[in-house]
Amino acid sequence: MFTFLNDPTFPSLSEAHKPFVNETVMDVCGVTRPFAVSKLRHNGDVDILGSDVDPIMATKALVRDFLDRLPYTAPCVPADSELRHEVADLIASWNAGLSWNHEHQRMVAIYTACLTLADDLGHHNMEALGQFVGRFTRGEPQLHPALDCLVKLLGTLHEFCPRINADAIIASTVDSVSAMYVEVLSQGDVISPFATKYPFYFRLKTGIAPAYAHLNFTKSWGDDVGTYYLQLLPETELVVVGFNDIISFYKETLAGETDNYVNMRAAVEQKQAISVLRQVIAENLDSVYKLRQMAAPQPGLTEIYLGFLMGYVEFHFKARRYRLHEIVAEVDEQ
């Protein structure tokens, strides 16, 4: 893993912005060495759900098993230093206009930066989140520059994406920012054991899953193939949140965090969290299988989905906050 803050080509940023840049957008723009996940050891049928099992070790075993069975191979996309500079400058000021060419990587990078900061606003500026939708519909300035940047980006989507996709991304974004606000308001709520569908319902909203599923398809690709690809979107939305839930669970377990999808679902289903994690892994691998089968008849669709899935996992490897390097390093040493 490289550290952008030690990169001499990295633009000068204020100390307040450096941690955010280093942990979000820069993870989208750069590339680490490829990981040979075939080296990961298959957990197979080993029982890791006993009452005396170490939850950290159990989580490591399940995450390694997930990556092995996927199987994950790093896509090795070349680093884009120009994009690093452009996005870093934007984040550092949050006052710049959207002046970039409509290239796919740039669009996703800045979209991710805006929403990552929006999610963080819930901890120190709830009012900015709470007023986002109202100000968006009335065309009023937002209460934070990152949200203004997000609104400007949404205004360009119909130039970049097919109409169906652009509409869905805008709707998902508005829904997700609203859900981020609700998530803060509802912290500490006791979930009824009868609300079995609530954890996934709420996770889809906060996870921005529909937007990221639709962002795979630009006009240059989508206009040529009709609407068949829309059938893949439900499974794609599941893996957008599911992969993150699986990969995040290790760092969350280390931190003693329980306000996540796996623990929420475990509470509702009255199961051990590690047992639910295993179920989530199985559900997501099943979705990956279905995506492969559905994509096969459409020329080019398999490449798009495999590129998305592998790139999505690689993003989590490069973002050091997920601490996946600890899991892979442990296997490398054995």
Domain residues of the chain, as ranges? 65-332
| 169, pLDDT greater than 90 | yes
At residue 147, the pLDDT reads 96
Which of 13-17, 88-92, 271-275: highest mean pLDDT?
A: 271-275
Secondary structure string (H, E, C) spanning 93-135 = HCCCCCCCCCCHHHHHHHHHHHHHHHHHHCCCCHHHHHCHHHH
Confidence band for 96, pLDDT divided at 50, 70 and 90 = very low
Give dist(CA 155, CA 7) in Å, integer. Answer: 33
Whose CA is closest to 121, among 131, 111, 135, 136?
A: 131
Mean pLDDT score, 200-221: 90
Between 65 and 43, residue with greater pLDDT: 65
Quick: pLDDT tens for 244-302: 999 999 999 999 999 899 999 999 999 999 999 999 999 999 999 999 999 999 888 88
Residue 95 pLDDT more than 80? no
Checking if the pLDDT of 191 tops 60, the result is yes
Supply φ then ψ for residue 28, to 5 degrees.
-80, -35
DSSP 3-state of 160: helix
Residue 59 clears pLDDT 70, i.e. is over it: yes
Contact 22, 5 (CB under 8 A): yes
Q: Please tell me which residue, 222 or 95, carries the higher pLDDT value.
A: 222
Which tops the pLDDT comparison, 94 or 163? 163
CB 135 within 8 A of CB 141: yes
Quote the pLDDT of residue 275.
96
- Of the CATH numbers 1.10.340.30, 1.10.10.10, 1.10.600.10, 3.90.1150.10, which one belongs to the domain with range 65-332? 1.10.600.10
pLDDT at 82 over 90: no
For residue 180, the surrounding DSSP H or E stretch is helix 163-185
Comparison of pLDDT for 98 and 214, the residue scoring more: 214
Q: How many angstroms separate the most distant Cα atoms in the chain?
A: 59
Residue 100 pLDDT: 36
Mean pLDDT score across all residues of the chain: 78
Answer whether residue 68 shows pLDDT above 60. yes
> What pTM was estimated for this model as a whole?
0.74
Length of the chain: 334
pLDDT value of position 55: 87
Handedness of CA 298, 299, 304, 306 (dihedral sign): positive
Mean pLDDT of 193-205: 93
